[in-house]
Each structure stands twice: as structure tokens, then as C-alpha cells.
């Protein structure tokens, strides 16, 4: 049960730290210096947004891997606690 709280806490912290990041501005038409500068800023914004989203995805993948490892360990401990009799290997 406590292993499920860690990802939720991380997700909650991520949501509160970056409260609705500002959307990137729309592309501007034209070939004036101001339009070119605005489009450059938009591309930088889009790259930063993509970088943020890829980091978030990587964190989610890592969290899922950790959860699977924890579940595997818990399952192995349950299996070990069953105390099956050791199988007898035949001697040939």
C-alpha cells in the first residue's frame, strides 16, 4: 500500500510545481524581423515543452519499473513464506 503512495506523491508534487505551464504562442505569419523573432521564441518554447514532457515520461517509466520490482520482491517473499518441503532429487 505504501509503495503506491510514492508515485502519487511524486505526481502531485510535479503537478503543483509546474501549474499549467504557459502554452507556446501561435505561429506568426510574415517575414518581418518581429515575426521571425516571435517564431524563434515559439520554437524554443516548443523544444522546452517537449523536453519537459520527455523527462516526465522518463520519470513515469522509472517509477513503473520500481513498482514492478517492489511487487516482485513482495511476491517472492510471500512465496518464500509458504515453506514448501524441499524436493528430493533422485540419485542415479
In this structure, the dihedral spanned by the alpha carbons of residues 33, 37, 38 and 42, taken in order and rounded to 10 degrees, is 150
What is the pLDDT, as a whole number, of residue 17? 46
pLDDT band at residue 83, thresholds of 50, 70 and 90?
Answer: confident
pLDDT in tens, 8-64: 666 655 554 454 445 888 888 888 999 999 999 999 999 999 999 999 999 999 999
pLDDT at 15: 57
Tell me what pLDDT residue 55 has: 97
pLDDT at residue number 47: 96
Residue 60 neighbours by CB distance under 10 Å: 14
C-alpha cell at 2: 505504501
Amino acid at each position: 500500500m505504501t509503495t503506491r503512495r510514492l508515485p502519487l506523491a511524486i505526481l502531485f508534487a510535479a503537478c503543483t510545481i509546474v501549474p499549467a505551464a504557459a502554452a507556446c504562442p501561435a505561429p506568426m505569419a510574415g517575414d518581418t524581423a518581429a515575426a521571425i523573432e516571435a517564431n524563434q521564441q515559439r520554437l524554443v518554447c516548443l523544444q522546452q515543452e517537449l523536453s519537459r514532457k520527455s523527462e516526465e515520461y522518463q520519470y513515469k517509466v522509472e517509477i513503473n519499473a520500481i513498482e514492478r520490482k517492489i511487487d516482485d520482491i513482495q511476491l517472492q517473499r510471500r512465496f518464500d513464506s509458504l515453506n514448501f518441503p524441499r524436493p528430493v532429487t533422485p540419485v542415479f
